[in-house]
Structures are given as C-alpha cells and as structure tokens.
C-alpha cells in the first residue's frame, strides 16, 4: 500500500451536519410525509432531473427548488400522498446550511492532517445558491477555503459525483495518484467509482468510526490529538499591498478579510509574517486584518537615517498610511517594539485609534526626570540595547550569518538543547557581542518549521539590520517627544497581554499600568516566552477575538 498524502472530504453529511438525506427525513417528519417520500422523488428524477442539473450548475437553487417542488406534487398525486397546499422544498435547503453546523471533530482531523503535510480537499455536489440564505453559504465556503488546500464544487465544473470524471478531475488538480488518496463520503454510491479507481474510501455513517478508519489509513493520530495550530497565512497566496508614504519610502502590508480594520505591528527582529497565525482567524471573525512590514523590514523601505525610526516619525508615517488607504480609524495590536509603538499611537493620535492592544510590551510612560538612554543603562536586562547604539557594530554581527541569527533569536522557554533557551540580554557589552560564546552550528527551535525560518531569513536579505536597529537609536529623541504626554491617560479601550516567561519584557513590568490606562483589560499567557504569536497562537487568538468582540460588538456581524 503506498503512503497516503491526499484526503478528499465530502461536505453535507461529512464536514457539515446534517447531510441532504437527514434534512429530507426531518422535512418528512415536519410535514408528516411517509418516510423516504422525498428521497424517492430524487432517485426517480435520475441523473437528468433537477437535482443533477443543479449540481452540474445548469440551473440555480431557486429554479431547482421550484422544479423539484412540482415533481413532489406530481409524485404525491400518483401515489395518493397528500401534500399541504403551501408545500415547498425550500426549508429543506435552508436546513442544510442554515441549521447545519460544522462537524468539528472531522474539521479538526482535516487540519491535523494538513499540519502533517497532507493536501486536503473538499469535494462536494453543490448548487449555485441564489437563495436568501446565500450569505451563509458564502461564509461557509470562505471558511472552508482557509482550512483546505482545494475546494471543488460540482456546479462550477459541470460534473458531479458519482461521475468518475469528477474524481479524475480532483486527482489532476491535486497532482495526486489514486493510491495516495483517501475519500470520505456519507453516500456509498459516491464512493464506489472512486474505489474502483484505486482510491481508499471511508463511508461516513458516524464520526467516531470514520475517524478511526481515517486514522488507520493515514497513520496520523487524529483522535485526541494535541492542540491544533490555527491556519497560517501563506506569503505566496495572501494579498499584499504597498503604500507610498513619501518619495522613496513605501510600507508593505498583507491584507485579509473585511470589516473593522485591525493593524498588526510586529517587533524586533520580525516581519508581517509573525502574525501568520492570527491573520486568517481575524479575517474569519469578521475583521480586515492588515499586518505591516514595519519601517526597515521586509518589503517595506529601509531608509538609512536614524531619525526615520523615531517614534514621532513612525507614528506620522502610520497616519499617512491610514490616510492613503482611506481608513479613518483602526484597532492597533502590537508586539515587542510594535507594542511600544501602538501605545504611542493611542496616546498621541487617539482619534485614529478605535482600541489598542499590546502583547508583552508594557506601557512605559516617559519619566521627565530621567532620559530614556539613562533608564536603559540602569536596567541590566536592557544591556543589549546599549550594545545596539553604535551604528554598524550590531549590524555586522547580526548580518554575518542570517540563518544562524534567526535561529538564535527564535527560541522558546525550556528549549535547552545545546543552546541556552534565550540569548542573555545582559552582559552583552562586556562579552563584546550578542552571540559571543554561542556555537557556530545552532539547532532550529521547534516553534517554527524550516520553511518558516527560511521565510524570515529571506526577509532580512533585502535590507539587513540597519533599519531594525535604528528603532533602538532614537531613545532620547522619542523620549523628548513623549515627555509632553508623561501624565496623559490612555482612554481608548486597551488590552495588555503578558507572557509569563518573556525574559526581557517581564509581566511584573506592567504593574501599575492601570494608573494611566484606567479601562485596561488584561490577558496572561502561561509558559510563553518572547515570541508570543508563534509560541501560543491559539491562546493569542482566543484572547484577541474575545476582546475585539467586546470592543466592536456593535459593528461586527457574527460569522459561522
Ligand atoms: C532579545 C535579547 C537580546 C536582543 C534582542 C532580543 N526586543 C529580541 C527582543 C528584543 C526588544 O528589545 N524590545 C523592546 C521593545 C520596546 C521596549 C523595550 C524592549
């Protein structure tokens, strides 16, 4: 038996409950029709009847319902069954999508398999939905598109199950061989041609048994498997945008979903890609999530001048960015340096900030008595920042071997194989460099895959570390600007999420934030180090979605 690498899932009756047949049974009960009456009409109408034509996309749902209702009336007359005067099949079709729900264990299995390198596909007999409930259909398909590599609807391609050419089509689209493929459906007749072609099939009668069979066929633990990672944005397929801030300076961003705007601001030394696990979830929850490459990073410009990276300049750039996109207000979520930045946005431009959230980074109000550069020198944990001050020095060290640099930075708490779990941020000046004393060969952390690591590496090839390090070289310039607001309050809705094991941005540093941010909501993530979004993507998403729901309750229609 060759190894399986592809899985096809039927929709109604497998990924969604109930299926068409169960919906018919329910309608028969409601209308007190003899059991099997509706199914019979469908079977009788055959492969050129209204259902088959709707499923091949030859007629839309509304026309199909009208025709089928007529066939039911004819069949009722012939067999002496009385139908109510107002009889219509429409409720059965509402039932399928409207009252139906996602079969969560099956969806979870599909996600786990995809995380294990399987290609997953939805293969459904479906119709063109022009009914009043079509928004719901759109939401379901938009959701499926995030979770599967491919979604095939019969009505878009003019062929339907159980025609064998639809299975050939699916294999071709997936570049799969039958022997590498598994197909799950709740209708035996749909499985037969696939089985005859050499595809392994699973008849879904109940979820538990279907999952057992799927587990045996794939060799992947899908029952009671550990926590699944949320879907991740793929740099090759996600929509990208560019806004010119001024001649020669542009900001690049990734833009998914529709609804209230959420601006995601990453930290040092990262990328829009640090939000990859948040983007699809925010979009699915009804927001427009915009993750920027902050100035100096990735595909955004990286002007060489230090002043380009002062907090007042970065905030002005962001306002220009919003203006050019025609966004009057956004919710800002930042991590690390992005966190420091979003607190400044909320302080200085509250009109443009619907709400503000920071992961790991506390709000540090400027102390008019102590310059920021002094304060930095007083805290041994921030010694690396002193080392970062001299232009060119840290650039040389961090740019020498980008892959090694990223592997050293991206490590989680408790990962102690060969390397300390996190580079020591103190004693850096004394040891003469951030990485001094570390081996040449360093292992990659479990928290990111080889291709994810390589994406980060690719992003630093373009502009290196000068721009990113310049964020640290404006301490006093930004402090002088922030002193004006040293006793201002932040009154927009605010969220502070602390990470228990961040070795630089300690949860204790957030004590007392309520004095300046009276309406502060808090979240805390245990066993989480510095790289919060990729270390604990599920927990981050849960905290953000709950808080965003409270903040935007009036403006976000609930999806799914
Ligand atoms: C860790 C240890 C040494 C060097 C770099 C790092 N983050 C990576 C994390 C660096 C950082 O410096 N954040 C700032 C954000 C603004 C407040 C001060 C800390």
Give 504-558 as a DSSP string: SS-GGGGTTGGGT-TTEEEEEETT--S-HHHHSHHHHHHHHHHHHHHHTTTT---
| 8 A C-beta contact, residue 68 and residue 50 | yes
Name, in order, each residue with C-beta under 8 angstroms of 457's C-beta and a sequence gap of 6 or more: 402, 403, 406
Ligand 1 atom at minimal distance to the Cα of residue 337: 15
Using CB atoms within 10 Å of the CB of residue 318, give its burial: 0 to 12 exposed, 13 to 18 middle, 19+ buried.
Answer: buried
Spatial CA neighbour of 63 closest among 76, 53, 78 = 53
Contacts with 167 (C-beta within 8 Å, 6 or more apart), sequence order: 123, 161, 183, 193, 194, 197, 199
Indicate which residue's Cα is closest to atom 2 of ligand 1.
Answer: 425
Helices (H), 287-388: 311-325, 337-348, 372-378, 383-387
Question: Which residue has 């000046």 as its token pair?
Answer: 429
Distance 425 CA to ligand 1 centre (A): 8
pTM for the model stands at 0.85
- Binning pLDDT at 50, 70 and 90, where does residue 30 land? confident
**In angstroms, what is the span from residue 337 Cα to ligand 1's centroid?**
7
pLDDT for position 398: 98
Q: Which residue among 294, 336, 410 is best mutated to probe the pocket of ligand 1, counting the most ligand atoms within 8 A of its Cβ?
A: 336
Q: Quote the CA–CA distance of 214 and 222 in Å, as a whole number.
A: 8
Q: Stretch 435-447: mean pLDDT, rounded?
A: 93
Average pLDDT of the segment spanning 187-213: 97
Report pLDDT for 298.
98
Centre of ligand 1 from the C-alpha of residue 519, in Å? 27
Pocket of ligand 1 (CB under 6 A): 267-268, 336-337, 340, 361, 384, 409, 423, 425, 434, 504, 530
Question: Which residues are catalytically annotated?
Answer: 336, 472, 530
Question: Whose CA is closest to atom 18 on ligand 1?
Answer: 337
Query: What pLDDT is attached to residue 98?
Result: 64
In which region does residue 527 sit, left (phi positive, over 0), alpha (psi from -120 to 50) or beta (all else)? left
* Cβ-based burial of 315 (10 A; exposed 0-12, middle 13-18, buried ≥19): buried
Kindly report the length of the chain: 560
* Protein residue closest via CA to atom 3 of ligand 1: 425
Q: Whose CA is nearest to atom 16 of ligand 1?
A: 337
Spatial CB neighbours of 311, under 8 Å, sequence gap ≥ 6:
340, 341, 344, 474, 477, 478, 481, 482
Of 329, 340, 360, 348, give the one whose Cα is nearest residue 551: 329
Pocket mutation for ligand 1, best pick of 269, 271, 337, 379 (most atoms within 8 Å of C-beta): 337
CA of 356 from ligand 1 middle (Å) equals 20
Cα distance between residue 30 and residue 514, in whole Å = 57
| Ligand 1 centroid, distance to 503 Cα (angstroms) | 10
Alpha-carbon span 281 to 538, nearest angstrom: 10
Q: Which of 307-316, 344-353, 550-559 is predicted with the least confidence, judged by mean pLDDT? A: 550-559
* pLDDT at 558 > cutoff 60: no
User: Cα of 336 to ligand 1 centre, how many Å?
Assistant: 7
What's the CA gap between 269 and 406, in Å, rounded? 8
pLDDT over 70 at 95, yes or no: no
Residue 457, helix vs strand vs coil: helix
How far does residue 69's CA lie from ligand 1's centre (Å)? 66
Mapped onto helix, strand or coil, the DSSP state of residue 28 is: helix
Candidate from 505, 506, 509, 535 with most ligand 1 atoms within 8 A of CB, to mutate: 505
CA of 450 to the centre of ligand 1 (A): 24
**Residue nearest atom 9 in ligand 1 by C-alpha distance:** 268
Of 385, 482, 504, 529, the one to substitute when testing ligand 1's pocket (max ligand atoms within 8 A of C-beta) is: 504
Whose CA is closest to 161, among 137, 193, 134, 138?
193
Contact (CB, 8 A) for 218 and 183: no
CB 528 within 8 A of CB 501: yes
Is the pLDDT score of 63 beyond 90?
yes
Chain segment 504-522, per-residue pLDDT in tens:
999 999 999 999 999 899 9
Nearest to 413 by CA among 553, 526, 262, 260: 526
Angstrom distance (rounded) from CA 202 to CA 210: 6
- Residue at token pair 């999508």: 97
Alpha-carbon dihedral 509, 391, 444, 357, rounded to 10 degrees: 30
In ligand 1, the atom with minimum distance to the C-alpha of 388 is 4
3-class DSSP assignment, residue 321: helix
Q: What whole-number distance in Å separates Cα of residue 9 and Cα of residue 110?
A: 8
Residue whose CA lies nearest to ligand 1 atom number 15: 337
Task: Say if residues 256 and 239 touch (Cβ distance below 8 Å).
Answer: yes
Between residues 172 and 20, the one the model is more confident about: 172
Question: Atom of ligand 1 at shortest distance to CA of 530?
Answer: 9
pLDDT of residue 227: 63
Residues of the chain with pLDDT > 70, as a percent, come to 96
Ligand 1: centre distance to CA 411 (Å): 14
- Candidates 475, 447, 289, 514; CA nearest to 375 is 475
Task: Give per-residue pLDDT as tens, 386-417.
Answer: 999 999 999 999 999 999 999 999 999 988 66
From the centroid of its chain, how far is CA 277? 4
Q: Give dist(CA 391, CA 473) in Å, integer.
A: 9
Cis omega (within 30 of 0) on the bond before 152?
no
Tell me how far the alpha carbon of residue 269 lies from the centroid of ligand 1, in angstroms: 9
Output the pLDDT for position 420. Answer: 67
Reported as a single tens digit per residue, the pLDDT across 241-261 is 999 999 999 999 999 999 999
HSE (side-chain half, CA atoms, 13 Å) at 396 = 8
Q: State pLDDT tens for residues 110-164.
A: 999 998 899 999 999 999 999 988 988 998 998 898 889 999 999 999 999 999 9
């Amino acid at each position: 038996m060759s190894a399986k690498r592809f899985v096809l899932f039927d929709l109604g009756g497998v990924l969604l409950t109930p299926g068409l047949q169960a919906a018919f049974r329910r309608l028969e009960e409601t209308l007190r029709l003899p059991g099997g009456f509706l199914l019979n009409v469908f079977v009788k109408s055959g492969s050129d009847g209204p259902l088959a034509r709707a499923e091949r996309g030859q007629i839309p749902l509304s026309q199909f319902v009208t025709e089928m209702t007529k066939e039911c009336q004819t069949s009722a007359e012939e067999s002496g069954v009385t139908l109510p005067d107002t009889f219509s099949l429409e409720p059965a079709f509402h039932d399928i999508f409207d009252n139906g729900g996602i079969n969560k264990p099956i969806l979870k299995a599909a996600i786990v398999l995809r995380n294990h390198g399987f290609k997953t596909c939805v293969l459904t007999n479906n119709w063109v939905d022009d009914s009043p409930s079509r928004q719901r259909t759109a939401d379901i398909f938009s959701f499926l598109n995030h979770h599967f590599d491919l979604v095939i609807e019969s009505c878009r391609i003019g062929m339907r199950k159980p025609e064998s050419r639809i299975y050939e089509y699916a294999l071709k689209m997936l570049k799969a061989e039958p022997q590498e493929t598994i197909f799950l459906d709740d209708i035996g007749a749909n499985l037969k041609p696939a089985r005859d072609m050499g595809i392994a099939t699973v008849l879904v009668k109940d979820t538990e048994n279907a999952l057992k069979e799927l587990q045996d066929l794939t060799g992947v633990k899908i029952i009671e498997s550990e926590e699944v990672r949320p879907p991740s944005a793929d740099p090759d397929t996600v929509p990208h945008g560019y806004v010119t801030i001024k001649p020669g300076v542009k900001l690049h961003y990734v833009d998914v979903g529709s609804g209230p705007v959420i601006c995601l601001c990453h930290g040092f030394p990262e990328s829009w890609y640090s939000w990859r696990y948040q983007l699809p979830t925010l979009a699915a929850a009804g927001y427009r999530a915009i993750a920027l490459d902050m100035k100096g990073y990735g595909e955004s410009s990286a002007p060489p001048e230090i002043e380009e990276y002062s907090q007042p300049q970065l905030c002005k750039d962001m306002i220009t960015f919003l203006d050019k996109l025609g966004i009057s207000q956004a919710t800002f979520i930042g991590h690390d340096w992005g966190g420091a930045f979003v607190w400044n946005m909320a302080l200085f431009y509250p009109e443009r900030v619907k709400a503000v959230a920071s992961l790991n980074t506390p709000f540090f109000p400027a102390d008019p008595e102590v310059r920021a550069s002094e304060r930095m020198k007083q805290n041994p944990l921030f010694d690396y920042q002193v080392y970062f001050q001299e232009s060119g020095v840290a650039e040389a060290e961090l740019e020498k071997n980008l892959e090694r640099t990223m592997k050293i930075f991206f490590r989680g708490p408790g990962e102690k194989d060969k390397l300390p779990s996190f580079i020591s941020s103190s004693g850096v000046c004394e040891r003469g460099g951030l990485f001094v004393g570390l081996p040449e060969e360093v292992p990659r952390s479990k928290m990111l895959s080889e291709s994810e690591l390589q994406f980060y590496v690719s992003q630093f090839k373009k502009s290196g570390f000068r721009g990113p390090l310049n964020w640290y070289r404006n301490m006093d310039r930004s402090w002088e600007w922030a002193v004006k607001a040293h006793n201002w309050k932040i009154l927009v809705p605010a969220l502070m999420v602390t990470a228990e094991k961040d070795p630089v941005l300690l949860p204790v540093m957030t004590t007392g934030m309520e004095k300046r941010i009276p309406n502060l909501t808090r979240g805390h993530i245990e066993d989480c180090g510095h790289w919060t979004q990729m270390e604990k993507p599920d927990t981050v998403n849960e905290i953000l979605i709950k808080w965003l729901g409270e903040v935007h309750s009036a403006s976000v229609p609930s999806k799914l």
